[in-house]
Homo-oligomer: A and B are copies of this chain.
């Protein structure tokens, strides 16, 4: 039934679709371009997806799942933090910053924001693979640190939320809404500043 080729084409289409939607936005993207970008003919696109709208939603969905998985993987060092908690947090913060400044991540965020009113299904994607999931995963790690006496014990969810806020909040202005590419050195500085403030607010007194 689903031959290998079919699955490959489907992946190629979803991938190419995200690329074009990311570059053009939903309305400005045309299916012809998506087909070209995917290395596929236009009728083939309609062979796999019923219309442009579902193509859009599906493309966003896989992009969101991929992004979430990468971000959660970046929390890994917190599972076995060394003696130097600050260094571990710096490392995780820097990795998260890199992932959040990636051009596909920025585009994903842009698309989710801009089309959320036209596509109710997008809300489901956000609940399924949005920042809440990442916050929860981070809260889990922080809770274990709190239990080990290395952080304040109060409300790991709030701690996670504020860690992410301190880290990502400054991003928007610094990157000029995703226009400017930030140097790695600048990312390290931002990560260090966020971790520093976070530890002042959340380290055990």
Which A residues have a C-beta under 8 Å from some C-beta of B? 23, 25-28, 109-118, 123, 126-127, 130-132, 135, 158, 161-162, 164-166, 168-170, 172-173, 176-179, 193-194, 197-198, 200-202
A117 touches B23 (CB 8 A): yes
Asked if A28 contacts B118 (CB within 8 A), the reply is: yes
> Do the beta carbons of B173 and A130 come within 8 Å of each other?
yes
Residues on the B chain within 8 Å of A113, using CB: 109-110, 113-114, 177-178
Which residues of the other chain, B, contact A117 by a CB distance below 8 angstroms? 23, 25
Nearest B-chain residue to A131, judged by Cβ: B173
B126 and A176 within 8 A (CB) = yes
- Considering residues A23, A116, A164, A177, which has the most beta carbons from chain B within 10 angstroms of its beta carbon? A177
4 nearest A-B residue pairs (beta carbon): A165-B169, A114-B114, A27-B27, A200-B201
Q: Pick the contact of A158: B23, B123, B193 (CB < 8 A).
A: B193
Q: How far is the CB of A54 from chain B (nearest CB, A)?
A: 18
Cβ-defined partner of A197 (8 Å) among B112, B169, B178, B201 = B201
Closest to A161 in B: B170
Of A114, A127, A168, A169, most B-chain CB atoms within 10 Å: A169
